[in-house]
């Protein structure tokens, strides 16, 4: 009889694990599965087990392709199964392609003349998934804010980053969910960052892969009125809850969607953009809405110099600018008085809407 042995955390059992067990069982006549005990999982990964050991044991024992289940309690990293392995004395140790402890396991196999056999981690019939992804999905919020950016935009793109410069933005409500999205799409409000968060992802790596910046998923996950340090990755410099901006923010839909990646490499004045971020940061720190508005106005000047069409003026607004990369989408308007904001929105409810700072 050819005995096959596999080991792992198997903390949240998913279809990828089942397919791995099937392929391992097909290598021989008897399959032993060893999973890490709750104590081992805590010791090596600082993570609580998803189920008590006896529940996990019963679950894996119920699988048709599994002949025996044991619990790994060894203290050596990646080798918590050694005692069981030497007792069972299998002919094959099946592992995934990305096995982190290959050298140690190969040495163990040599002790008893066991074959070290690699199997594909995720078969073609399944979309790749991991325990980490499942945990993120479970922890994903039911709703998420969008965001408005005030100043320093583009300085969150690694190739445009400037040490000592800042990006200033604010998470806003009404929120969105996987079932409810009451905003225009491709609108410059960080929708891709919100979508990533709602689906249990961080979004930062996805945004960087598109050649744009990290500010959208960063502030949407952080929430609040935030100042970020310009750089390759999001580093929070300062945060407020934004309550002093309540009743002072509104959006204008410009009538067309926008494409941030498509304009990422346009010529623009990064020195003035950096100055806008510095001024807006001062406005957040003090806090001083007039100083914040000064930073917003300066940033909008750089947008106009880039060739964007002038935004409709509002005499009661302190400042305005296109959100995101501009060239369409929403524009944010900043008011000193709630009554002025509400009157402006009421004059065109189809294209204007009030938003509020959002802090989770």
Predicted confidence at residue 89, as pLDDT, reads: 97
Residues of the chain with CATH 3.40.50.620: 3-137
The confidence score (pLDDT) of residue 123 equals 66
Give the burial string for 307-326 (b: 16+ CB within 10 Å, else e).
Answer: ebeebeebeebbbbbbbbbb
What pLDDT shows up at residue 126?
A: 66
If we measure between CA atoms, which residue out of 274, 256, 249 comes closest to residue 153? 274
Phi, psi for 64 (deg, rounded to 5)? -65, -35
CA distance 42 to 248: 48
Torsion angle, CA of 319/323/324/328, rounded to 10 degrees?
-120
Three-state secondary-structure class, residue 290: helix
Task: Tell the CATH topology of 140-357.
Answer: Ribosomal Protein S5; domain 2 (3.30.230)
What is 3-137's CATH number, 3.40.50.620, 3.90.550.10, 1.10.10.10, 3.40.640.10?
Answer: 3.40.50.620
What is the location of CATH 3.30.230.120 in the chain?
140-357
pTM for this one? 0.72
Q: Nearest 5 degrees, angle CA 275-CA 276-CA 279?
A: 85
Give residues with Cβ within 8 angstroms of 311, minimum separation 6. 252, 254, 300, 320, 321, 322, 331
What Rg value do the Cα atoms of the chain yield, rounded? 27
pLDDT of residue 285: 97
Location of structure tokens 């009889």: 1
pLDDT tens for the 360 residues of the chain, in order = 999 999 999 988 888 899 999 999 999 999 999 999 999 988 877 778 888 999 999 999 999 999 999 999 998 878 999 999 999 999 999 999 989 899 999 999 999 999 999 998 766 666 777 777 888 888 889 999 999 999 999 999 999 999 999 999 999 999 999 999 999 999 999 999 999 999 988 778 777 777 778 999 999 999 999 999 999 999 999 999 999 999 999 999 999 998 878 888 889 999 999 999 999 999 999 999 999 999 999 999 999 999 999 999 999 999 999 998 888 999 999 999 999 999 999 999 999 999 999 998
Q: pLDDT at position 212, please?
A: 79
**Residue carrying structure tokens 């067990």:** 21
The whole-angstrom separation of Cα 191 and Cα 200 is 14
Phi-psi domain of 251 (left: phi exceeds 0; alpha: psi -120 through 50; beta: other): beta
């Amino acid at each position: 009889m050819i005995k096959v042995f596999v080991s792992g955390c198997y903390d949240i059992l998913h279809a990828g694990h089942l397919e791995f067990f099937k392929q391992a069982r097909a290598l021989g006549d008897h399959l032993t599965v060893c999973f890490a005990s709750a104590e081992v999982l805590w010791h090596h990964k600082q993570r609580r087990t998803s189920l008590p050991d006896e529940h996990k044991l019963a679950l894996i024992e119920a699988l048709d392709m599994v002949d025996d289940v044991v619990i790994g309690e060894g203290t050596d990293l990646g080798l918590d199964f050694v005692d069981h392995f030497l007792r069972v004395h299998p002919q094959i140790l099946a592992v995934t392609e990305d096995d982190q402890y290959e050298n140690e396991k190969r040495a163990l196999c040599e002790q008893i003349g066991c074959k070290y056999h690699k199997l594909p981690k995720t078969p073609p019939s399944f979309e790749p998934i991991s325990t980490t992804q499942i945990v993120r999905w479970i922890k994903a919020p039911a709703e998420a804010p969008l965001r408005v950016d005030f100043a320093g935009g583009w300085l969150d793109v690694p190739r445009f980053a400037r040490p000592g410069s800042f990006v200033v933005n604010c998470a806003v409500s009404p929120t969105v969910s996987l079932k409810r999205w009451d905003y225009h799409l491709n609108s410059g409000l960080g929708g891709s960052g919100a979508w990533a968060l709602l689906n249990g992802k961080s979004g930062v790596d996805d945004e960087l892969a598109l050649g744009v910046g990290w500010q959208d998923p960063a502030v949407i996950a952080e929430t609040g009125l935030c100042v970020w340090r310009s750089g390759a990755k999001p580093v929070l410099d300062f945060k407020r809850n934004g309550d002093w901006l309540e009743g002072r923010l509104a959006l204008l839909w410009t009538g067309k969607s926008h494409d941030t990646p498509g304009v990422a490499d346009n010529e623009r004045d990064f020195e003035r953009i950096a100055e806008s971020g510095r001024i807006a940061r001062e406005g957040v720190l003090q806090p001083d809405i007039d100083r914040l508005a000064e930073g917003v106005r300066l940033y909008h000047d750089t947008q106009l110099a880039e060739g964007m069409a002038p935004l409709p003026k509002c005499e009661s607004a302190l400042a305005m600018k296109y959100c995101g990369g501009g060239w369409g989408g929403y524009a944010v308007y900043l008011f000193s008085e709630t009554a002025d904001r509400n009157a402006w929105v009421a004059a065109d409810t189809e294209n204007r809407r009030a938003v509020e700072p959002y802090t989770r």
